[in-house]
Chain A
Amino acid sequence: MDKKLRHKQMLEDINYCNKMINLSYCMYAKQYWINLFNKKMEEALKELEAPETKEENKEETKQETAREPEKQFTLEELAQYDGSMGKAAYIAIEGIVYDVSWNSCWGGGTHFGLLAGKELTAEFKKGHMKGIEVLKELPVVGVLK
């Protein structure tokens, strides 16, 4: 992808995130878009500061774009990612699916007796009454259908 096109895409992504922040009512979804917005801004700033190099000819690094269709999970599909037998460990909170495979608190895909591969909104709210700060660091892999 050449530089001009890439910058256009970045700007579009940032604007889209901004729009979604304003459209989101659920605080979890809002936080998701805020995080993504911040990430996109960081990348854009880095891009602007980077010197002219032969970067464009290098292999494209895979970038998460907001315009790519989000992977949608049914509960059955989510259940596949329960962290057992070496599989990835995903959990869903308020409709957003997070990857906890390598999160310190989720050794073995389990956390305080809970198993991954499930919708855990109620348990999360009970156990993390202080709020959603902890979710900030979790990679997002999609949304629940």
Chain B
Amino acid sequence: MKIAQEAVDRIKEGNGNKINFIWIEANGCAGDIISFLNADEPDALYFLKEMVNLKYSPSLMQAEGERAYEEFLETLNTDFILGVEGSLTNVENGFYDIFAYYKGKTISVAEAVAKAAEKAKHIIAIGTCASFAGISAARPNPTGCTSLSGFLGREVINVPGCPANPLWVMGTVASLVLYNKVEVDDKGRPLMFFKDTNHVNCERRSYFDNKINAQKLGDKECMFKLGCRGPVTKAYCPIGRWNSRINWPVGDNTPCIGCANEYFPDGSEPFVRY
């Protein structure tokens, strides 16, 4: 990806100081970090070596227990980008999602996120749960989950997707590292990736335009009559695709379920309808 490569070169020729990165996993499935590890050109290794110092990540970091929490606290006193995946639950003092146990005290994820957000240089909501509350808040929302911006009461960069596509996260971080900002739309989503709906660039448009419909999953025709949410979902899937750009749901003969939408999943139901 060009923008990430530029960021790398700039870092190399500049002061060589990489910004720190805190990746918090809130109330979700931890799918966004797994998705991010699937990044390709540049890959996750490039990210770790050349773009940021990943100071905190529950999935990857080496320290554990109190030492891990201390590394989190230490990073708060530096320049860092905060990335949060998963929804925020603050009911019952955030009991439904715990971050750490430190010196006799239980710290909820909500508390840790609030602490980090105060000091972060940039804040990214990674994935639909963090951006828009997502499936963790699906009816009836048993744990009162909200989006990151809803919880903090301020705007953040939203990179939705269930999970967030690694291209979108990588490109957003690259923009911040290189230009100290990223252009977003009215919902905080980077315009790089959320300008058009999946319908605009779908490879099956000629089928749609001629009203040639798939009858069931597995067919090669337009998936609209089976429940495709492509026409109402802004994302980058038909262009950048998934998993090293090799495939995407529609290309796999299934409808788009609008996983990057504000109202996913309740607003996309039912996902499949014959």
Contact = CB atoms under 8 A, between A and B. Distances in A.
Q: Are A and B direct contacts in the complex by CB distance below 8 Å?
A: yes
A107 B255 contact: yes
B226 A113 contact: no
B273 A84 contact: yes
Interface string B217-242: 00000011111111110000000000
A84 to B, nearest CB: 6
Nearest to B231: A104
Contact of A112 (B197, B230, B231, B269): B269
B266 A108 contact: no
Contacts of B230: 107
B224 A86 contact: no
A107 B263 CA distance: 15
A26 B39 CA distance: 55
Place the interface of chain A in its size category.
10 to 19
Interface of B: 197, 199, 211, 213, 215, 223-232, 255, 263, 266-267, 269-270, 272-274
B228 A108 contact: yes
A18 interface: no
A109 interface: yes
B199 A104 contact: yes
Interface string A103-117: 011011110110000
Nearest to B227: A108
A38 to B, nearest CB: 25
B266 A110 contact: no
Which 8 pairs across A and B sit closest by C-beta, in order of nearness? A108-B227, A104-B231, A108-B273, A113-B269, A107-B228, A107-B227, A112-B267, A107-B224
Contacts of A122: none
A75 to B, nearest CB: 21
Most buried by B among A86, A107, A110: A107
A108 B232 contact: no
A7 B85 CA distance: 63
A84 B272 CA distance: 11
Contacts of B229: 107
Contact of A105 (B211, B232, B255): B232
Contacts of B215: 86
